[in-house]
Amino acid sequence: MKSRTVLSMEQALSLPYATLRFAQLGWRVIRIEATRSGGGLPGDPNRYIGSRMGGGDDRRSYFIAPNVGKQAIALNLKDPRGQQVLQRLIQALNVDVFCCNTVPSRYQPLGIDYATLRAAKPDLIWAGISAQGPQVPDAPGYDPVIQAMAGYMEVTGDPNGPPMLTGIPVIDLKSGDELYSSVLLALLERAETGQGREIHVSMLQVAASWLITLLPLLDMGCQDSEITRSGNEHRKFIPTNVYPTQDGFVYLAIGSDVQWQRLTAIPRFASVANTVRATNEGRGQQRDTLYRDMAAVTMQYQTDALLRDLAGATIPATRIQDVAQVREMLERQGKLTRTTLPDASTLRLPPMAVDLMGARAELSFPPHYGAHTHNVLSEAGYADADITALLAQGVLA
């Protein structure tokens, strides 16, 4: 796969996650961060979240994983001279993709709007992530707020409890994935047409696209209980749920009547069967009593014993694993990626989403703020004296 150059004005998580996927492909990713303004810390606020890693104050634990394998420059795009630098970088480095995740109302004032950058390089792929797209140009895009706005919190958690966030920032990550895939499609189109493309990723729209099992129910005369929190049980496939055991919990999934037959053929579970429960519709009629009957069985046995029986009947089931157990499982499978800290120790990272030929399993440790400003500008043809002057003027850092 041909390597590409991505210039990304990025912060927080959604866009850094997207460009991490480009870095995993072996593409060159140069992240642009703002120069210091007012009394705040310079650059991406996520640099300063979590425990310190790798020396200095600007590479902390929350920042590390999404930003391995990248370069970093600091550029003041509020200054017209900084905007000129950006356009020169796009031309001189033959940048394929420009990305950003600031509010759309800032695109033109910062000189990063598609029309401006396309004038510098007509075949440029431009991609931005924002809360609700250009139609709502001033809305900030924060994952928990979008989770609340998009109905995720209303459908997550105990039905008798309050709305709840998901355990990971799913909308940030889904938005990053959508930008990633949209850019790949745009590059494929460009190979055929020679034309660039403008891509807007709305976090709200991205989140709503995942309501595919819920939103259509509004037009189907369904009960309100079908479109709200259901705890660990599945709304439709019964008795898919989490059940107590003698030493923990087991989650098992019944996705068809055939699987139900295999489950109740296991001697331990024979007592939960009756003629009504032979179909998923019938099991729905006895939902609450069925869950109690299932729990009464599972709590009599050790988790491992249940899992052996369920595996023998090809019933999807698992113990509830913590993150350390997941990492151990993935490491046995050789799936983890890695980076090396400045002290030469290894930091294990999540796997790539999909194994791809030529992808990079080892990525460089994230750079300090502005670590590559001088080298990148030199590559673009700036003389040392010009770079020094721009640094003195606050255009670079």
**How many angstroms separate the CA atoms of 146 and 201, rounded?**
13
Token representation of residue 364: 């460089």
> How distant, in Å, are the alpha carbons of 107, 131, 150, 284, 320 from that of 138?
11, 9, 18, 45, 41
At 198, is the secondary structure helix, strand, or coil? strand
Displacement of CA 380 from its chain's centroid (Å) = 32
Token representation of residue 373: 């400003």
pLDDT (tens digit, 9 = 90+) per residue, 248-293?
999 999 999 999 999 999 999 999 999 999 999 999 999 999 999 9
Token representation of residue 115: 């029309």
Q: What percent of the chain has pLDDT over 90?
A: 95
User: Phi and psi at residue 32, in whole multiples of 5°?
Assistant: -100, 130
**How many angstroms separate the CA atoms of 394 and 114, rounded?**
25
Which listed residue (57, 172, 219, 288) is catalytic? 172
At 318, is the secondary structure helix, strand, or coil? strand
For 59, which DSSP code?
Answer: -
Can you say whether residue 231 is alpha, beta or left, with left for phi > 0 and alpha for psi between -120 and 50 degrees? left
**Pair 368, 58: CB distance under 8 Å:** yes
pLDDT (tens digit, 9 = 90+) per residue, 109-126?
999 999 999 999 999 999
**How many angstroms separate the CA atoms of 210 and 147, rounded?**
11
> How distant, in Å, are the alpha carbons of 1, 34, 319, 383 from that of 38?
43, 12, 51, 29
Residue 54 scores a pLDDT above 90 = no
> What is the 3-state composition of the chain as percent helix, strand, coil, each rounded to the nearest 5?
45, 15, 45
172 catalytic per annotation = yes
pLDDT (tens digit, 9 = 90+) per residue, 288-319?
999 999 999 999 999 999 999 999 999 999 99
**Pair 394, 79: CB distance under 8 Å:** yes
Residue 38 scores a pLDDT above 70 = no
